[in-house]
Amino acid sequence: MLLSVVVVNWNSIDDLRSCLRSLRSQTHEKLEIVVVDNGSSDGSAEMVAAEFPEVVLLRQRENLGFAEGCNRGIEASHGTWVALLNNDAVAEPNWARALVAAIERAPSECGMLQSLLVYQQRPSVINSTGIELTYSGGGRDRDGGRPLADAAPDENIFCPTAGAAAYRRAMLDSIKLPQGYFDRDHFMYYEDLDLGWRARLAGWSARYVPASVVLHRWHGSSDRHGRPWLVVISCINRVRTLLKNASIGFIVRTSPRTMLELTQLVWFGRAGAVARLAKALRESAAVRSRVDAMMRVPRRTIERKWTADRS
């Protein structure tokens, strides 16, 4: 089967080259590779065109963010399943083959698959086996920091992290918002938790595929933005995700964590961040009704089943 792979890039020419070389070396040959270059100024797009002519290259004039970059790549791809891979990740040769094998045995309600991510610098340590919905109302890497020897077998998970995941196109089409498959207003961070939560509410499931291995450099792009930017966007996008997907009771219960993060937002972001938060509140409240319309599983049912413990 044809597996589409979307890679979003911004000014990461060396990482991108390594990523694409790993995709060229896949044992599964039927791959459609789409690179969305978000207005890079380091020659990334020119490198792709010169060194990887088999790749579909989408040149954007500006940095649209990871969420909208994924949307553009998904729209340009053709596979019935679309894999996403971070530009600072290297896929093991059997990465795609393992995903395709999992796709072929997946039940019809399975719409999401998660690869095993380990750290490039420490390949014996797990980076992520998916996203857990935390008790405090955020998302965290499942099994993050655990020894690879303790890796869990293939099993159902809440949802995947978009750094190394595959999504059924029929699922993506069924839960698409006016803001895209991934909500472009997130720019980056929480966009995968938001999509995965929405998919769960719509009745789709997710599974972890440990045979599909990716080595991730982790924060290769985000480190360049600086801590204040990271604090502000993470806080705003956490609030966006909760308002769209969580039950009122869950929002109330997690409000102490929200208030703590809002304090940090004001400290790091000043007045401009407060205005951005107000805009996010208005937008997310409007989107919530659209999530209601596609919902097949009650919000509280999802929260009871998938919220991780307090640890």
Confidence of residue 15 (pLDDT cuts 50, 70, 90): very high
Per-residue pLDDT, averaged over 32-61, amounts to 98
Tokens standing for 112? 């999401």
| DSSP-assigned letters across all residues of 163-232 | TEEEEEHHHHHHT-BTTBTTTGGG-SSSHHHHHHHHHHHTT-EEEEEEEEEEEE-SSTTGGGG-HHHHHH
Distance CA 132, CA 90 (A): 23
Q: Which neighbouring-strand residues pair with 4?
A: 32, 82
pLDDT tens, 160-186? 999 999 999 999 999 999 999 999 999
- The full set of domains in the chain, from first to last, is 3-222 (3.90.550.10), 225-306 (no CATH)
d(CA 108, CA 240): 29
pLDDT band at 131 (very low <50, low <70, confident <90, very high): very high
Q: Which residue has the higher pLDDT, 228 or 157?
A: 157
**Cβ contacts of 267 within 8 Å, gap of 6 or more:** none
CA–CA distances in Å: residue 46 to residues 59, 60, 292: 10, 13, 44
Query: What digits encode the pLDDT tens for the residues 241-288?
Result: 999 999 999 999 999 999 888 887 777 766 677 888 888 889 999 999
